[in-house]
Amino acid sequence: MSDPTRTRKLRLRAALAVAAVTGLGATALTALPAAAAGETVTVQYRQSATGSDQVEPWLKVVNTGTTSVPLSQVKVRYYFKADAGASYTYACSWAVKGCANLTGTFGTLANPTATADRYLEIGFTAGAGSLAPGADTGDMQLRFHRSNWQPLNQSDDYSFGPDRTTYANWSKVTATVGGVPVWGTAPAGNEPTPTPTDPTTPPPTGGAALFDDFDYTGHTDPAINAHGWSVRSNSGGPGVPGATWTPENVTFAKEGTNSIMNLRTSTAGTGGSTRHTEILTRATKFKNGTYAARVRFSDAPLSGPDGDRVVQTFFTINDLKAPMADDYAEYDFEYLPNGGWGEPANILYTTSWETYRPDPWEAVNAHSEVRASYAGWHDLVVTVDDTAIVYYVDGQEFGRHDSRYLPERPMSINFNQWLIDLAGQTSTTPRAYDQKVDYVLHVKDQVLTPAQVAAKVGAYRSAGTKFEDSVPAAQ
């Protein structure tokens, strides 16, 4: 990440615009998810607002089948007609299952109609649990509004039922279980089709790839430079003014049979005592394809007081050549264990960037988020093809952003850990946070499923391959 682009990290997340998303063509597979067999759910709906301030679809998912349904496999779609030029922001006011266990992303219909060209898709994290036969989720009091809070028009929205003031089955909202359609009728020409998944399908053979198991002796190991990495040591943002980027805080060790990279960020409550860490590829040669890493996030410091606004990341990026330049690109996983950017507690973001202007601040991006703890190891995957950017966490789709955010130029691959500011914890007692990385993988021009990523990494390790880079230089 070049220094000019680092200033964008000073943004307020509350000001980010949520944008529409579209489907991504998957690898051609055949088997349907076994978990969906015999499962049936219905969706109940009531409206809570008929005005022009915001849309408030309140929903319940009911298990009408004979087997338990893991809610992490359920997706619900509410269809609407977007106002001209509008982007939208999702929120959950209250939910029996907990708002932190719900996700909300926006998508664009392949075949727009007079009453629908967008949808809000509601998903569930593993923390939402399962629905026993006959059980329901209870209230999910959802809402969304135009990102600039301008008035909106619900009257032409496909899923809106102005007379629905009590919960009842509503077929204008659809549901899938494990990618299989089980409830509702989509707007004409947009009928959902089963999402093919097959965890046993091997990854495609061939193709240029970068793989690194991070098997190094330390930050001065000559192999790090030989393998194309740079451990950051220059000054500048993002984060705490006066902080330094400290190469010696990037270390390597064995955990079991795997080699692990550790990024340590520390502070004693002043800019001068704050140490940030970053490692990135020197080459900006990565564009379409699959990016993956296994990363361990941490919620608490190793010792000392907690509360610092830490950012733990895995991302790709190129340089911003001019404010609002349309060939900028960046795709982020960012975990904030103690909140920040207007968030009070832990939150995981995935963000796809089209462009931005640092001063005065203006951003064009799409993001998805879940407000929950992600402490521990997680498999992170993001795929980029000619239609969309799709993010996965631990094998489950986390966010999907449309073709407006696709990269025009190649990017570098980066990991960093840093503090937004020192306002979260004002103590001068020293403390340090660790972010660990097991491996990184990029497969050029191939969209892999998370299961295929795991199989490819397993094949590298079975063959004893610690590093490979066959990705050609950017043309």
Residue written as tokens 């338990």?
Answer: 68
**What average pLDDT values come out for the chain (475 residues) when binned by 10 residues?**
34 29 29 43 95 94 90 93 85 92 85 92 88 95 90 95 96 90 90 50 76 97 97 93 97 90 97 97 97 96 95 97 95 96 92 94 91 91 94 88 93 98 96 97 95 92 95 85
Residue with tokens 């947009």: 190
Residue 269 CB partners (closer than 8 Å, separation 6+)? 422, 425, 426, 427, 428, 429
**What are residue 458's phi and psi, to 5 degrees?**
-60, -40
Greatest Cα-to-Cα distance within the chain, rounded to the nearest angstrom? 69
For the entire predicted model, the pTM comes to 0.63
Give the pLDDT confidence score for residue 255 in this predicted structure: 85
Secondary structure element (H or E) that encloses residue 452, with its range:
helix 450-462
Question: Tokens 């978990």 label which residue?
Answer: 35
Contact criterion met (CB below 8 Å) for 151 and 49 = no
Contact at 8 Å (CB) between 352 and 362? no
Whether 412 contacts 280, CB under 8 Å: yes
d(CA 452, CA 202): 6
Q: DSSP character for 21?
A: -
What pLDDT was estimated at residue 242?
A: 95
The three-point CA angle 431-296-314 to 5° equals 100
Predicted local distance difference test score (pLDDT) of residue 141 = 96
Output the six-digit token pair for 159: 């899923």
